[in-house]
Amino acid sequence: MTDSVLFDRLPAQNGKAIGVATLNRPQALNGLNLEMCQLLFKKFQEWAQDGSIAIVVLRGAGDKALCAGGDLHSLYASMQKNQEGPAWNNEYAREFFDVEYRLDYLIHTFPKPILCWGDGIVMGGGVGLFNGASHRVVTDTTRFAMPEISIGLFPDVGGTWMLSHLPAGLGHFLALSGAQINASDCLFLGLADAYLPRAQYDALLQTLQATHWPDERAARDSSVHQALRTLANGARPDSGPLEQNYSTLRDICASREFDRITQALQQWQDSADPWLSRAAQTFAKGAPGSARLSFELLERVHHLSLADVFRLEYIVSLQCGVQGDFQEGIRALLIDKDKQPRWNPASLGQADARWVERFFIPAWPADMTHPLADL
């Protein structure tokens, strides 16, 4: 059996080394399962304490994706087994979201530079890995999105925190539309730190190996930035579709009004701009409940700490496992593949602010503390 994550240790200057973690399920677009999260969490904890590791590089195997999301098949099976039970009875979901969110939080707070190579598809769980890295690199093939509205979920893995801090309400648009953006738009929104063509990955590793690594964290970060600037040599991709539509999106989304944004999305289905039209059509086909839930989360998390955001997302993720749309969305997309989900609620009007409150009820016993209380 092939290891789901590969770990390498590359020699560098002045007795240091580079830790390289490679997600190794290319046939599944490097989708994250529980085992991968456990392996990454354990190794990253080791590397955080290993004085010889100067920097960590995180990448995906193959030429299609860093990571296209979480292991939806296993989550679907766990929901099937827990059809009648409360959310806390889904042991797989409990453990998967616990370990995944701890891993993402560790990446955000890692004591050394983490360079994430965001080549190809970076979606869902892949965004959770990418977003927390200190040096986020996009390439000419990057396709970045949080498309959870299409499966009855919401932008988790810290995605609500990320989207809530984007300017002009653009995070609300990305959450409700699942719109894909490219490397240029990631740079435009501050969701990436550097751009390099895919072909320069080997040169990047060689440059990092040839770098003299100081002990101070700030100096190490500066060394990584310098390496990326040198390799980029001023190269930058052309403006992306979000940047080209920025004024339109800002005028609608800056007010952060649910009805105003959703009405505009309904109208944009017939837009002459193919990117805007596709985003609007994705919204129209998505779960109305996910639209309301995502919007409500972005409003609630804006002033929370990152740890509190993960704690809130954990509550909501467990409830998504019993509310129906998440299971139905996976069924329609990946199990039966009929692409005809039967959403409940079936309309935005039914998915009102009162309806959404059910997702914010902790699922565990009343005498138990939050499972992520120690973040």
Q: What secondary structure letter does DSSP report for 60?
A: E
Residue of 166, 164, 172 whose CA lies nearest to 189 = 166
Residue 144's H or E segment, with its range, is strand 143-145
Q: Are 40 and 26 contacting, i.e. CB atoms less than 8 angstroms apart?
A: no
Following CA atoms 226, 229, 233, 239 in sequence, which dihedral angle do they give, to the nearest 10 degrees? -170
Residues contacting residue 321 through CB under 8 Å, at least 6 positions apart: 75, 78, 79, 82, 87, 90, 93, 327
Pick from 305, 308, 323: nearest CA to 359: 323
**Span 187-224, pLDDT tens digits:** 999 999 999 999 999 999 999 999 999 999 999 999 99
User: What does the pLDDT look like over 214-223, one tens digit per residue?
Assistant: 999 999 999 9
Low-confidence ranges of the chain (pLDDT < 50): none
How confident is the model at residue 268, as a pLDDT?
A: 97
Q: Domains of the chain (ranges plus CATH)?
A: 5-360 (3.90.226.10)
Q: What is the pLDDT of residue 1?
A: 65
Q: Which two tokens stand for residue 284?
A: 């129209």
Tell me, yes or no, if the pTM score tops 0.95: yes
